[in-house]
């Protein structure tokens, strides 16, 4: 602390002048950050010194500041680079609808409906980010809304089938409807990512099955495929951000290594849990368990 002699002298002067010194922070030669408070008991010629090690708190505060800046930059990028094109696509689809009402265009009608639904879903995700997660608070807002799990899963499957007619995609459930109170947008993202991932690594004539199980307090959604599976040496990495476990799909689909990371994060935000089992060349099973009611609801 030799280079801080001037600072220490100033602190002592302030203590003698005002009788107290509060919230003084300094770093040790070992790299720790300390916070000190001092009180001069003039009548007894004593100084009471309270020193706290705030290294972890300081590192956390620095991390939050850096993370917040990176988050805001990312959200601004999403807003400017995606919102405009997606809204334009939605408007163009409305124009197509105006000239596409005759019977011979029923197939195109169905496809444009799927495009519109997907586009609208993307817009909802972006709006959700901009409305809640762009705030300065350290937490991420999770909406609590009552919705039918079976209906949401069926929407995911309906959107997948037209583009994967060489595979069988099924939904199994003993209960319908099945309502829970959670964030329906985040739930949709989780199920969509899991089913999309399963389809991507399942060959032609393969099967992807989504099972929905009900219990007294939770609901379990299991996505099972008989695809190529996950090599054992990659399994410990699959939930990591920008994971090295990211692989192109069987049809060459690109991977940015974020899908399962997002699944885990969103599931945890909804107070749930995600687990998996997999064997190479034998397929994978992913299961998410969610409470029917938010714990803090």
Name the more confident of 226 and 96: 226
Fold assignment, 145-291:
Heat Shock Protein 90 (3.30.565)
Helix, strand, coil percent values for the chain (each to nearest 5): 45, 25, 30
Burial class (CB in 10 A: 0-12, 13-18, 19+), 99: exposed
- The answer to whether 208 touches 168, Cβ cutoff 8 Å, is yes
Name the more confident of 71 and 262: 262
Give the pLDDT confidence of 162-193 residue by residue, as tens digits: 778 889 999 999 888 899 999 888 898 899 88
- Residue extents of the structural domains in the chain: 2-53, 59-133, 145-291
User: How high does pLDDT run on average in the chain?
Assistant: 77
Q: Kindly give the residue spans of alpha helices, DSSP state H, lying in the chain.
A: 5-18, 55-78, 84-98, 106-128, 149-160, 184-200, 232-235, 259-269
Name the more confident of 225 and 3: 225
Name the more confident of 1 and 296: 296
Looking at residues 74-103, what average pLDDT do you find? 62
In which band, very low, low, confident or very high, does the pLDDT at 225 lie, cut at 50, 70 and 90?
very high
The distance from CA 206 to its chain's CA centroid, rounded to whole angstroms, is: 29
In which band, very low, low, confident or very high, does the pLDDT at 260 lie, cut at 50, 70 and 90?
confident
Looking at residues 261-290, what average pLDDT do you find? 92
Q: Say yes or no to pLDDT of 41 above 50.
A: yes
Tokens for 197? 């991932």
Give the pLDDT confidence of 107-127 residue by residue, as tens digits: 667 767 777 777 777 777 666
């Amino acid at each position: 602390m030799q280079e801080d002699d001037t600072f220490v002298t100033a602190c002592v002067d302030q203590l003698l002048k005002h009788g107290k010194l509060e919230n003084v922070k300094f770093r040790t030669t070992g790299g720790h950050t300390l916070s000190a408070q001092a009180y001069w008991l003039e009548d007894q010629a004593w100084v009471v010194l309270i020193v706290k090690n705030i290294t972890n708190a300081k590192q956390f505060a620095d991390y939050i500041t850096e993370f917040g800046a990176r988050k805001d930059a990312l959200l601004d990028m999403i807003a400017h680079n995606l919102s405009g094109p997606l809204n334009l696509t939605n408007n163009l689809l409305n124009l197509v609808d105006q000239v596409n009402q005759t019977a011979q265009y029923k197939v195109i009608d169905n496809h444009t409906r799927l495009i519109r639904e997907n586009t609208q879903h993307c817009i909802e995700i972006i709006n959700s980010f901009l409305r809640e997660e762009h705030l300065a608070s350290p937490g991420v807002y999770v909406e609590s809304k009552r919705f039918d799990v079976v209906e949401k899963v069926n929407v995911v499957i309906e959107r997948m089938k037209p583009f994967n007619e060489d595979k069988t995609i099924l939904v199994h459930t003993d209960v319908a409807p099945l309502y829970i109170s959670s964030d329906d947008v985040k739930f949709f993202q989780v199920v969509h990512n899991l089913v999309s991932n399963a389809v991507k690594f399942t060959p032609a004539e393969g099967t992807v099955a989504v099972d929905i199980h009900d219990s007294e307090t939770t609901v379990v959604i299991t996505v099972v495929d008989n695809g190529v599976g996950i090599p054992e040496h990659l399994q410990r990495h699959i939930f990591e951000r920008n994971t090295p476990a990211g692989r192109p799909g069987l049809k060459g689909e690109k991977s940015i290594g974020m899908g399962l990371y997002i699944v885990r994060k969103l599931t945890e935000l909804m107070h749930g849990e995600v687990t998996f089992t997999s064997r190479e060349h034998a397929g994978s099973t992913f299961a998410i368990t969610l409470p029917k009611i938010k714990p803090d609801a």
